[in-house]
Amino acid sequence: MVDFTLTAEQQDLRDLAHDFAVKEIRPVAWEYDKNGTFPEDIIQKAWEVGLMNYYIPEAYGGTRVDSLSGIQIEEELSWGCSGIQTTLGCNSLAYGPLVLAGSEELKKEYLGRLVEAPLLCSFCLTEPDAGSDVASMRTTAVKKGDKYVLNGSKVFITNGGYANWYTVYAKTDKEAGRRGISAFVVPRDAGVTVDKKEDKLGQRASNTAAISFNDVEIPADHLIGQENQGFKLAMMTLDRTRPGVAAMAVGIARAAMEFAIDYSKERVQFGVPIAMHQGIQFMIADMATEVEAARLLAWKAAVLLDQGKDNTIVSSHAKRFAADAAMKIATDAVQIYGGYGFIKEYPVEKLFRDAKIMQLYEGTSQIQRLVIARETLLPRRASSDSSSNGDSAAASTNGAEPHPEPATAN
């Protein structure tokens, strides 16, 4: 029998995240958005109460919650502010490849850093000419003795200006397309250059940066997994993080719906609150259905992951539907507010801007449709490559921003 009831532990995590969003995020979210303020104070508080890095295994000092528990946190914090949640949650996108394939030494060192202090890390996949088409990346990693030398640039990197270390994808075989990509841990002090901070439409409380590597040397043992297996590793990571991105979209959608409901009860036109007009009621009803459907898809994708089953197509269903629903609901919320919804003084204007990135990072809605079509038309048989979407169509930008990022984010 299918049971959608959260366990007591999962509900406690959801309550913790909601209370944190109410007390620490909502009161400052719109001001942070206005000024593009990086939420350093909130990062410290979230780290202290365990609302960061919750997927790090216990063996490396983490708490390692299950995916269904994790997306409860991600929905609630995004209800508070998805830009701040992007900042807090992007670490999981960056350390995901390390958990999956890193050596014991790398895990102890770099996961340990995140456990011991409120530090950030970034996922670096997207480039100026390589977004969805990851195979076109130009960043290279050339092995020289006991080191790799990296050259190239990355864009839309969530937390890029503040990261302590980076998970970087680079070509180790320039002629092999996606099969020539490898993944590396690159500490910031190896010589990473932050080129600029992006001035974004939405999620302005998250840092999105362009970074570059100019003859950056790292030890050869900072390779994650095997050489030329980076593409598969990236796709495995994104399958694991997309349920969380879907949950973030649900948080945005839910917030927009709640503001629209409250406003529709207060705003009087033609002698009655506009909530009494059938046209508004139908809009609210559609919002409610879409929030519920998006949440259920996110939950299913997370549960499949917790069960050790292939969640590629369901993760794409969840991410695509939730992202599109968030954009539609935020748009309709602005419509319900009328002219006031177009004014920055009113909350739905921010949510409208924040929602758009959900259709872009961690794989655009169009890329998700390509994945869904491929998986539907040509279902994969079990194989050693079953964790990979098998082509550049599955690629994303970063963890949570025009990536990625932002990945979460790049």
Domain-located, residue 407: no
Residue 92: band (very low, low, confident or very high) from pLDDT cuts 50, 70, 90? very high
Identify the residue with better confidence: 249 or 132.
249
State the CATH number of the domain containing residue 202.
Answer: 2.40.110.10
- Residue 250 burial (C-beta neighbours within 10 Å; 0-12, 13-18, 19+): buried
Query: Where among 194, 224, 254 does a domain terminate?
Result: 224
Domain-located, residue 47: yes
Domain-located, residue 100: yes
Is 240 found in the same domain as 209? no
Please provide the average confidence, as pLDDT, over all residues in the chain.
Answer: 93
Is 250 found in the same domain as 194? no
SS3 at position 404: coil
3-state secondary structure 174-222: CCCHHHHEEEEEEEHHHCCEEEEECCCCCCCCCCEEEEEEEEEEEEHHH
Are the C-beta atoms of residues 115 and 53 closer than 8 Å to each other?
yes
Q: Quickly count: other Cβ atoms within 10 Å of residue 260's Cβ.
A: 27
User: How crowded is the C-beta side of 48, counted as CA atoms within 13 Å?
Assistant: 8
Determine the average pLDDT of the residues in 206-225.
98
Determine the average pLDDT of the residues in 360-385.
83
Beta bridge partners of 181: 171
Residue 396 has pLDDT above 50, yes or no: no
Determine the average pLDDT of the residues in 104-114.
98
Is 261 found in the same domain as 174? no
Distance of alpha carbon 312 from alpha carbon 309, whole angstroms: 9
User: How crowded is the C-beta side of 399, counted as CA atoms within 13 Å?
Assistant: 38
Are the C-beta atoms of residues 121 and 95 closer than 8 Å to each other?
yes
Distance of alpha carbon 57 from alpha carbon 98, whole angstroms: 11
Beta-strand relationship, 165-171 and 181-187: antiparallel
Domain-located, residue 249: yes
Residues marked as catalytic: 362
Residue 259: band (very low, low, confident or very high) from pLDDT cuts 50, 70, 90? very high
Backbone torsions φ then ψ of 88, nearest 5 degrees: -70, -35
Residue 98 has pLDDT above 70, yes or no: yes
Residue 381: band (very low, low, confident or very high) from pLDDT cuts 50, 70, 90? low
Query: Where among 119, 143, 173 does a domain terminate?
Result: 119
Whole-angstrom Cα Rg for the chain: 21
CA distances from 209 to 175, 324, 407 (A): 28, 25, 13
Is 189 found in the same domain as 86? no
State the CATH number of the domain containing residue 51.
Answer: 1.10.540.10
Structure tokens at 190: 């190896």
pLDDT tens track for 272-312: 999 999 999 999 999 999 999 999 999 999 999 999 999 99
pLDDT, residue 247, reads 98
Backbone torsions φ then ψ of 391, nearest 5 degrees: -165, 170
Q: Quickly count: other Cβ atoms within 10 Å of residue 262's Cβ.
A: 12
Is 215 found in the same domain as 240? no
Is 271 found in the same domain as 136? no
pLDDT, residue 398, reads 40
pLDDT, residue 409, reads 39
Domain-located, residue 42: yes
Residue 405 has pLDDT above 60, yes or no: no
Identify the residue with better confidence: 64 or 379.
64
Total number of domains in the chain: 3
Does the pTM exceed 0.75?
Answer: yes
Residue 379: band (very low, low, confident or very high) from pLDDT cuts 50, 70, 90? confident
Is 236 found in the same domain as 384? yes
Helices and strands in the chain: count of H runs, count of E runs: 12, 10
State the CATH number of the domain containing residue 315.
Answer: 1.20.140.10
Residue 391 has pLDDT above 90, yes or no: no
Is 178 found in the same domain as 246? no
Query: Where among 201, 224, 247 does a domain terminate?
Result: 224
Domain of residue 175, residue span: 122-224
pLDDT, residue 2, reads 78
Is 130 found in the same domain as 115? no
Is 26 found in the same domain as 114? yes
Cis peptide leading into residue 57 (ω within 30°): no
Beta-strand relationship, 208-219 and 165-171: unpaired
Is 208 found in the same domain as 83? no
Is 138 found in the same domain as 85? no
